[in-house]
Structure 1
């Protein structure tokens, strides 16, 4: 499984910040399990799973001043954390 942060920002229509992840390298069975078990918005795109997570401003991982200086580090950490989270969802 590979997780990449594809996009992040603020959604006016929801009034929330979001992070959009592209998850690749999953077979159909694992993709279906995640879609069934996740509360987050999910969709399929060319064999990948797209997961969109919405955050209140205070919990948004890219909202701090430090994240703006070290964005690559924050993105990498977010990708690792999501991969660990998804792995734990699949283990249940």
Structure 2
């Protein structure tokens, strides 16, 4: 499984979009049907879009502005761990 942040933004809507690749078809369908976040299957990828309140948006801190690549990598790893544990319930 590979997780990449493919879009994010803060403003009227605070969101992070993840693209998940390298999953089997049954894993894609399981995640798409069982995650509470906004999901869609696009080809062989699962697109997950998470919305955040202002205080929970992961890229809002001053440190994130200077070390953005580190924050993006951390968020990708955290999502991969979450999805892996979620798939254990399959």
When normalised by structure 2's length, the TM-score is 0.93
Q: 1:56 aligns with which of 50, 53, 57?
A: 53
Deviation at 1:27, TM superposition (A): 0.9
Runs of at least 5 residues in structure 1 that lack an aligned partner in the other structure = none
The CA deviation at 1:11 is 6.2
Any idea what SS the aligned residue of 1:61 has? coil
Q: Kindly indicate whether the alpha-carbon contact (under 8 Å) linking 1:37 and 1:89 is maintained by their aligned counterparts in 2.
A: no
For 2:75, the equivalent position in structure 1 comes to 78
CA deviation after TM superposition for structure 1 residue 36, in Å: 1.5
* Cα deviation digits, residues 47-82 of structure 1 (max 9, x gap): 111000000010011111110100000000000000
Give the unaligned 5+ runs of structure 2. none
Deviations 1:16-66 (A, max 9, x none): 300000000001000011012100001122211100000001001111111
CA distance in 2, matches of 1:46, 1:29: 13
Aligned equivalents of 1:32 and 1:11: distance in 2? Answer: 31
Give the Cα–Cα distance (whole angstroms) in 1 for the partners of residues 4 and 31 of structure 2.
16
Is the Cα–Cα contact under 8 Å of residues 32 and 41 in structure 2 kept in the other structure? no
Moved over 6 A (4+): none
Provide the C-alpha distance between the structure 2 equivalents of 1:2 and 1:68, rounded to a whole number of angstroms. 24
**1:21 and 2:18 are equivalent in the alignment:** yes
